[in-house]
Amino acid sequence: MILLLFSMAVAPAVVLLSYFYIRDLYESEPLRVVLFSFFLGMLSVFPVLWLQTSAGQWVAHPIAHVVLVAAGVEEVVKFLILLGFMQHSPDVNEIYDGILYAAAISLGFATVENIASVIPGSFETAAIRAFLPVPGHALFGVIMGYYAARAKFERGRSKTVTWAKALLYAWLLHAAYDLILASHHYIWGIGILPFMAGLWVIGLRKMRTAQERSPFKPKY
């Protein structure tokens, strides 16, 4: 039973990471580096938990808690890991690389979170989380990584602005997602599916744009 739940908790991240990896069409990243970024995402759970516990003592309002503590802390920590990773990695040489590594970091975090939620839970919990929180984290990462990689290759003031977009857009989308889930049941039911559909549309568009802008794309 526990082994099956564990497998169901890990499987969504494996499937999604494999999908993002094979969509790197023109210059595949080293698998060991992708897995290393995934491992960094897993480790990010520890500073996130510590910061959320500390910050939670000072933020009492429910909406502020969702926006600043739940969504904010997670995205800021993932952003800082991605920033450090991209600044020191020679493997990031096209926009799609930012998407892949940010998604890997986010999925590493989501995997640990999923294991902690699914194993004490049920098959229903595993199924819901496979279609909502895990893809949500991945897609927040896609959007963050797209702008972070663009920022890496820009110069001047636009570089700072694009870095800010990488964090802000992922943060706002994550906060909107959490606020929908924290709402009344009927709003949750009506709102979450269109939100996830829109998130997929945005994420896939960013991936397609990154592929089109790849310097390694063959010119026929």
Tens-digit pLDDT profile for residues 136-151: 999 999 999 999 999 9
What pLDDT, on a 0 to 100 scale, did the predictor assign at position 119?
87
What pLDDT, on a 0 to 100 scale, did the predictor assign at position 90?
84
Distance, in Å, from the CA atom of 115 to the CA atom of 35, rounded to the nearest integer, reads 18
Written as one string, the DSSP assignment of the chain is -HHHHHHHHHHHHHHHHHHHHHT--SSPPPHHHHHHHHHHHHHTHHHHHHHHHHHHTT--SHHHIIIIIIIIHHHHHHHHHHHHHHHH-TT--SHHHHHHHHHHHHHHHHHHHHHHHHTTS-HHHHHHHHHTHHHHHHHHHHHHHHHHHHHHT--THHHHHHHHHHHHHHHHHHHHHHHHHHS-HHHHHHHHHHHHHHHHHHHHHHHHHHHHT-TTS---
**Mean of per-residue pLDDT scores for the chain:** 92
Which amino acid, residue 156?
G
If you average pLDDT over residues 171-191, what whole number do you get? 83
What pLDDT, on a 0 to 100 scale, did the predictor assign at position 220?
67
Residue % of the chain over a pLDDT of 70:
97
Distance, in Å, from the CA atom of 177 to the CA atom of 12, rounded to the nearest integer, reads 19
Tens-digit pLDDT profile for residues 3-29: 888 889 999 999 999 999 999 999 999
If you average pLDDT over residues 195-200, what whole number do you get? 96
> Residue 133 corresponds to which tokens in the numbers above?
């929180």
> Residue 180 corresponds to which tokens in the numbers above?
């929908």
Residue 184 confidence (pLDDT) above 80: no
Q: Pick the residue with more confidence: 190 or 24?
A: 24
Tens-digit pLDDT profile for residues 65-95: 999 999 999 999 999 999 998 888 888 999 9
pLDDT tier, 155 (very low <50, low <70, confident <90, very high otherwise): confident
Q: Which residue has the tokens 């959007």?
A: 143
> Residue 163 corresponds to which tokens in the numbers above?
């870095």
**Helix axes of 31-43 and 95-118: crossing angle, nearest 10 degrees:** 50
Give how far the C-alpha of residue 191 lies from the chain's centroid of Cα atoms, to the nearest Å. 20
Residue 132 burial (CB < 10 Å; 0-12/13-18/19+)? middle
pLDDT tier, 219 (very low <50, low <70, confident <90, very high otherwise): confident
pLDDT tier, 189 (very low <50, low <70, confident <90, very high otherwise): low
Angle 172-106-183 from CA coordinates, rounded to 5°: 40
